[in-house]
Amino acid sequence: MPAPSKRLSGILPSGKDGWEVHFAAMNRKEAGEPIIMLSVGDHDFDTPSETIEACVTAVRSGYHHYTQLPGIPRLREAMARASTRCTGVETNADQIIATPGGQLALYAAVQGTLDRGDHAVVVAPYYATYPGTFRAAEAEFTVVEAEAADGFQPRASAIEAALKPNTRAILLNTPNNPTGAIYSRESLEEIAKLCVKHDLWLLSDEVYWTLAGDHHVSPRSLPGMAERTLVINSMSKSHGMTGWRIGWLTGPESMISLLISLNLVTTYGLTDFVSRAAAEALENDYGVELIADIYNGRRKVFLDAVRGLNDITVRGSEGGMYVMLDVRAIEPDDEKFAWALLDAEKVGVMPGSSFGDAAAGHIRISLCQPDDVLLDAATRLRRFASSYRSKAA
């Protein structure tokens, strides 16, 4: 057959981005092994019943035709109210474009701010799709690591040192996946000053904001930032709607207006009945408080269970759906540690190096399992760490 485009084959040049342990664990579980899956951020519970019923009602009412490219008005208005709460900046519907999931909102933000050959700075540890999203835009990027010793808080000085004449944007994620770190106001203020000084876009991935309680600070709320910040958001985590594929991008009206053209040639709008169910879920906060309570409780249960575990240190882990454990004192090679844990104790975790060099030597634990499963996994981890040390000795 004719050769595919270089753009397509270059999105993941190695054909992988660190997910091998997860896929192996998933395949083994499907084959019947009693694997505890702590490697993926997908809820272990269903979407709230109220949202499901709203969707069924919309289907039965005939809402299954084409919709407006930026999203139906009711949905955009509901998303604008959510963005006002998320970012602390009064937001209207013209500052919102609805997308099929947060990943498409990220894709739109990158496509809207970077031309071929432009440069961006990505704060790491980062979500695994970030590099491929920049490659899809044929843009360059430099990874700046937020160090484990700093609790994975980013340093503006390191970001500024990575800027180039063709730098157009900075991408960060708070609360952070994979570390669970919530970026401090002080850290974000310094980054905001950089954006204003160098006239940069800030792409702010805030999909876990409802799991941070009162600790979340959106950089969009900082001086001079509303006009240069694009906020990526999603209903996947906040409303228990991972498979529904509903997200949105918040930004200046002029940018959002231009991005409608991107929807024209990609998604051509969203599914009507899903949009109406999502609007009702946003209007009524279906599941939001309960989901936040679940993960706050699970975080405490798991951290209490591993606290005091010799040679393993908790890093970040203040919010979101994940806990980051530093295993370097046991095994510097986090991928080797993850494979060995899967083989010995049948626990699937993500190697930290999947998310950037700063997380090398760590493992990411997903909290998407009930308390009793998390406690079982903590017991297996404790047993494994002790055994691994004695074998290494």
The predicted structure's pLDDT at residue 361: 94
Give phi and psi for 334, each to the nearest 5. Answer: -65, -35
Strand 247-250 relative to strand 313-315: parallel, antiparallel, unpaired?
unpaired
Reply yes or no on whether the pLDDT at 286 is more than 70.
yes
Confidence at residue 19, expressed as pLDDT on a 0 to 100 scale? 76
For the cut 80, the answer to whether the pLDDT of residue 331 exceeds it is: yes
Q: Which of 251, 244, 229 is CA-nearest to residue 282?
A: 244
Q: Which residue has the tokens 């919309």?
A: 58
- pLDDT given at position 242: 94
Contact 216, 174 (CB under 8 A): yes
Q: Tell me: the pLDDT tens digits for 373-385?
A: 999 999 999 999 9
pLDDT at 40: 86
- Residue 309 · residue 381 · CB < 8 Å: yes
pLDDT at residue 393 in the model? 47
Interval 182-229: pLDDT, tens: 999 999 999 999 999 999 999 999 999 999 989 999 999 999 999 999
Instruction: Please list, in sequence order, all residues whose beta carbon lies within 8 angstroms of the beta carbon of residue 315, skipping any fewer than 6 positions away.
Output: 148, 151, 152, 179, 181, 324, 325, 326, 362
pLDDT at residue 391 in the model: 56
- Checking if the pLDDT of 13 tops 80, the result is no
| Euclidean distance between CA atoms 44 and 37, whole angstroms | 10
Contact 33, 345 (CB under 8 A): no
Is the pLDDT confidence value at 155 over 70?
A: yes
Average pLDDT, rounded, for the chain: 94
pLDDT confidence band for 255 (50 / 70 / 90): very high
pLDDT at res. 12 = 73
Average pLDDT over residues 286-293: 97
pLDDT at 310 over 80: no
Q: Which CATH number fits domain 65-284: 3.30.360.10, 2.30.40.10, 3.50.50.60, 3.40.640.10?
A: 3.40.640.10
What are 122-150's pLDDT values in tens digits? Answer: 999 998 889 999 999 999 999 999 999 99
- Amino acid identity of residue 90, one-letter, is E
Residue 15: the pLDDT is: 47
Q: What does each C-alpha distance from 281 to 75, 82, 387 come to in angstroms? A: 10, 11, 47
- Taking the whole predicted model, whether its pTM rises above 0.85 is answered as yes
Q: Report, as an integer, the average pLDDT of 314-326.
A: 91
Amino acid in position 51: T
**Domain segments of the chain as ranges:** 6-46+288-385, 65-284
Q: In angstroms, rounded to a whole number, what is the distance separating the alpha carbons of residues 317 and 228?
A: 28
From 333, 246, 348, 287, select the one nearest 40 (Cα to Cα).
348
pLDDT at 14: 53
Cβ pair 237, 205 in contact under 8 A: no
Question: Whole-angstrom Cα distance, residue 360 to residue 110?
Answer: 26
> How would residue 355 be classed by pLDDT, with cut points 50, 70 and 90?
confident
For residue 4, what pLDDT band results from cuts at 50, 70 and 90?
Answer: confident
| Best CATH choice for the domain 6-46+288-385 from the list 3.30.420.10, 3.40.50.2000, 3.30.420.40, 3.90.1150.10 | 3.90.1150.10
Q: Residue 164's CB: how many other CB atoms inside 10 A?
A: 12
**Strands 119-124 vs 362-366: parallel, antiparallel or unpaired:** unpaired
Q: Is 322 helix (H, G, I), strand (E, B) or coil?
A: strand
| Cβ atoms of 179 and 352 closer than 8 Å | no
Structure token pair of residue 52: 């499901």
Instruction: Provide the pLDDT for residue 97.
Output: 98
d(CA 132, CA 203): 15
Segment holding 135, helix H or strand E: helix 130-136
Cα 120 to Cα 51: distance, rounded to the nearest angstrom:
38
